[in-house]
Amino acid sequence: MMIGVIRLKFFIDRLIEQIKEKQSAVCVGLDPHLDRLPGHLKAKYQVESAATGQKKASRLAEVIKDFNRQIITMVAESAVVVKPQLAFYEQLGPAGLEALIDTIAAARQSGLLILLDGKRNDIGSSARCYASAYLNPDSLSGIRRADALTINPYLGREGIEPFLADSSRGAFALVRTSNPGAGEIQNIRLKNGSPFYLKIGKLVESWGENLRGEAGYSNLGAVVGATHLAELKELRQELPHTFFLIPGFGAQGAGAEEAAAGFDDKGLGGLVNAARSIIFAYQREPYRTEYSEQDFALAAGEAARDMRDSINQALETARQRGRRL
């Protein structure tokens, strides 16, 4: 008798499939800043009249669920991935985790992939607990498992492997982060003259060696900010099998042309994240003129389409430039 083995698709292949299908490399960061959530939703859930901190937290969690569900509906067509930043949910305690669970379920229903931005890092049983919480099918956390998690590489391979045990799930390790002061550590020069981030990048490339999918990219990606353009270009050259999560687009200052430097010459290899500039698009131009606060999700949808189009345009320009060379 044959025993049927269902081999789940590699995480990275599912990601690339979605990117190709939607013709989009957009990741929308779901970072619900409490002070920027729409006033009409805060009124609907009576946030202001909450008598205790606990009550306030659970009402804010309701606002976040409603807010995220509306955003998700409107960006599902043009975004490939949503990336909830765990800190924003944790600050509301158990109610915040309930909002996260609800958000993940909504994203799943809308066909979006889910990347949790937790920058988790630990070893042995602790790392396995994190993987269990966020990535395992039989999790007790209530989270209908996400597709990938951001992780911090400081503990070495031992802190990475527990997150890669299931090849249908992936991780993105911090390599060159988008914050202005990241160079203080990540640009430290090593004995061989190369910067620290490059060494980490090469380790990430090697740690993912046995987890490469059909397109040659591995289940272990890297976080490389678009705000450090030269490093982004260099890392794209040096790490041909490592998919990049590229933050720094939008509110942090980088544009589509910078982000495009993180892609390969087939226009693949990058997933570009924007959070505030999409989910709070109704608070900024050109969307503010067109959309009222009530229409925040419509504004987010348009901002996500605009982002997709501008990245595709930049990739097309880069491709044509490449052909001319």
- Smallest gap from residue 47 Cβ to a second copy (A): 11
CB of 43 to a second copy, least distance (A): 18
Q: Is 140 in the site for a second copy (CB under 8 A)?
A: yes
- Residues 6 or more apart whose CB falls under 8 angstroms from that of 249 comprise 226, 255, 256, 258, 259, 272, 273, 274, 277, 307
Contacts of a second copy in 9-48 (CB under 8 A):
31, 33
Q: Is 225 in the site for a second copy (CB under 8 A)?
A: no
CA of residue 256 relative to chain centroid, distance: 17
Burial class (CB in 10 A: 0-12, 13-18, 19+), 323: exposed
Contact 134, 183 (CB under 8 A): no
Stretch that binds a second copy, among 7-15, 65-73, 118-126, 266-274 (CB under 8 A): 118-126
Q: In whole angstroms, how close is the CB of 188 to a second copy at the nearest point?
A: 6
97 is an interface residue for a second copy by CB under 8 A: yes
Measuring CA to CA, which residue among 316, 187, 310, 179 is closest to residue 251? 179
CB within 8 A of 4, min separation 6: which ones? none
Q: How far is CA 41 from CA 15, 242, 275, 296, in A?
A: 33, 40, 19, 11
Q: How far is the CB of 210 from a second copy (least distance, A)?
A: 17
Tell me how far the alpha carbon of residue 242 is from its chain's centroid: 15
CA angle at 146 for the pair 6 and 158, rounded to the nearest 5°: 85
Nearer residue to a second copy within complex by CB, 19 or 151: 151
Q: Which range, of 13-21, 132-140, 287-295, 315-323, touches a second copy by CB under 8 A? A: 132-140
* Length reported for the chain: 325
Distance, in Å, from the CA atom of 272 to the CA atom of 259, rounded to the nearest integer, reads 7
Task: From 20-28, 117-125, 266-274, 314-322, give the range in contact with a second copy by CB under 8 A.
Answer: 117-125
- Answer for which of 17, 77, 105, 139 binds a second copy (CB under 8 A) is 139
CB 106 within 8 A of CB 74: no
Contact between 191 and a second copy by CB under 8 A: the answer reads yes
Which of 73, 167, 168, 179 contacts a second copy by CB under 8 A? 179
Region near a second copy per CB under 8 A, out of 133-141, 256-264, 286-294, 309-317: 133-141
Q: Is 253 in the site for a second copy (CB under 8 A)?
A: no
Tally Cβ neighbours within 10 Å of residue 3. 4
Q: Is the Cβ of residue 87 or residue 316 nearer to a second copy in the bound state?
A: 87
In the bound state with a second copy, the residue whose beta carbon lies nearer, of 19 and 222, is 222
Q: Residue 128 CB, nearest distance to a second copy (Å)?
A: 8
Q: Specify whether the CB–CB gap between 267 and 226 falls below 8 A.
A: no
189 binds a second copy (CB under 8 A): yes
Q: How far is CA 296 from the centre of its chain?
A: 21
Residue 81 in the binding site for a second copy (CB under 8 A): no
**CA distances to 58, 132, 213, 241 from 98, in Å:** 9, 17, 33, 36
Contact positions with a second copy (CB under 8 A) in 59-78: 60
Residue 65 is a catalytic residue: no
Q: Please give the positions annotated as active site.
A: 119
Residues that bind a second copy (CB under 8 A): 31, 33, 53-54, 56-57, 60, 85, 87-88, 90-98, 101, 117, 119-127, 129-130, 132-133, 138-143, 152-159, 174, 177, 179-186, 188-191, 193, 196, 199-200, 203
